[in-house]
Amino acid sequence: MKNEGPAQGFRFAARSGLKAESNASASPHSDLPSFLKNTVSLEIGDHDRRLDESLLRSLHALLAEASVSQAAAKLGVAQSALSRHLKVLRQLTGDDLLIRVGNRMVLTDRAQALVVPTRRILADMSLLTSEAKPVEPGELRQSFRIATYDFLPRRFFADIVERVARQAPECDVVVRGLGSRFEHYRQLADGEVDMVITVWPELPGHLRAASLLTEPMVCLMRQDHPLARGPMTLDDYRRARHLSSLEHVPGQGTILDAQLAELGVSVHTAMRTQFLGMAPAILARSDLIFSTGRLLAEDFAEQYPLALVPFPARIKPHRYRLVWHERTHKNQAMGWMRGELMAAARELAHRPRS
């Protein structure tokens, strides 16, 4: 499905009565997305009601929650008020948007098609207005959506949740898995996620990034593994069987595969998984070796009887980067959350080691 961005020549104003402006050479509404074209003629009571920011935010919440009551709670408004907004939105779009199936509400096909355009329009609107005063985390009511692999230790994510709960108790954190490199670029562009934590070095120009953590690579194996007894050579490493993360792009290997290729080394990867949380139990019951950053290895070694062994060659460290889209760069709420992520990473990097 092709994603529609906001129409050229159409501007949204905050709640003080917005109007559609067409390009001089175009017909009055030819450039508007189809679901907006009816907004200029709908009458409610004695006045024109157009699709303003308030309605857009209501639409976004309804599409996200598929429930009037849950959407109202998310927005912090009365359910009756949101029901009125839903009625207006149904008239504007010419579609029911939400229909009852059994004992629950579901999105219509038209509503599902509006999810991405609505999210992108709201994100683009944030670029048109400046926030007059610094954000107060305690006043925020929103989700922070982060895409990452579980290649950072548990305490990092626990720290993030604790920070948000303490400072912004009306907010929530959504952590989801990474797709391919190109998939999470698209997710950021479409507003499906707010931030990505990745180890891939290449980024397109419309994305911004900050260094989050840098740590050395180590090898993790069971404590009574034959290679845990003494210095492991690169030849020992090559002959061993390995556990690895899933490839970001099928057939192209991982970053570690590329680094090993530079050393002229290939290994037998007996298992690949995107669920790294299962790795310590597998390592404890096999002769597999898992090469990863030191922080995750230490975290796993706290759970199972595992040994950390230095990587047997000079290899680039793991460099974790926090990535976000240009459109959210000046969003103060997102800026606050990025600051908390970086503070949690600093605390993790400098914690005392046993």
pLDDT tens digits, 193-227: 899 998 877 777 778 999 999 999 999 999 999 99
Give the model's pLDDT for residue 42. 37
> Which residues, in sequence order, are CB contacts of 265 under 8 Å at separation 6+?
234, 237, 238, 313
Average pLDDT of span 244-251 = 68
**Which among 47, 43, 37 has a CA at the least distance from the CA of 9?**
37
Decide: 215 and 317 in contact? Cβ < 8 Å.
yes
User: What span, in angstroms and rounded, lies between the C-alpha atoms of 336 and 327?
Assistant: 15
Q: Is the pLDDT of residue 58 over 80?
A: yes
- Distance separating the N- and C-terminal Cα atoms of the chain: 52
Identify residue 292 by its one-letter amino acid code.
Answer: T
Q: 185, 249 in Cβ contact below 8 A?
A: no
Of 46-60, 112-126, 186-200, 215-229, the range with the highest mean pLDDT is 215-229
Mean pLDDT of all residues in 326-336: 87
- What is the predicted pLDDT for the residue at 40? 33
Considering the domain 34-125, what is its CATH architecture?
A: Orthogonal Bundle (1.10)
* Contact criterion met (CB below 8 Å) for 328 and 258: no
Distance of CA 38 to the CA centre of its chain: 33
Confidence class for position 248, pLDDT limits 50, 70, 90: low
What pLDDT score was predicted for residue 119?
Answer: 79
Distance from chain centroid for Cα 119:
14
CA dist., res. 251 & res. 248, Å (int):
9
Round to whole Å and give the CA distance between 234 and 236.
5
Q: CA distances (Å), 114 to each of 61, 72, 214, 259, 328, in order? A: 12, 19, 40, 43, 21
In the structure, what pLDDT confidence band is assigned to residue 27 with cuts at 50, 70 and 90? Answer: very low
- CATH number for the domain formed by residue range(s) 217-316: 3.40.190.10
**pLDDT exceeds 70 at position 134:** yes
Query: Smallest Cα–Cα separation from 243: which of 215, 214, 284, 213?
Result: 284
Domain boundaries, the chain: 34-125, 141-212+320-349, 217-316
Chain position carrying tokens 């996200």: 64
CATH number for the domain formed by residue range(s) 141-212+320-349: 3.40.190.10
For the chain, what percent of residues have pLDDT higher than 90?
36
Q: What angle do CA 311, 315, 321 make, to 5 degrees?
A: 110
Residue 92: CB atoms within 10 Å: 21
Mean pLDDT of 76-104: 86
Interval 108-115 mean pLDDT: 89
Average pLDDT over residues 293-307: 94
C-alpha 177/C-alpha 179 separation (Å) is: 7
What is the torsional sign of CA 291, 293, 298, 299?
negative
Binned at pLDDT 50, 70 and 90, residue 329 comes out as confident
Do 141-212+320-349 and 217-316 come out as alike in CATH topology?
yes
CA-to-CA separations, 287 to 243, 281, 300, in angstroms, rounded? 10, 12, 16
Residues in the chain: 354
What average pLDDT score do residues 176-181 get?
Answer: 75
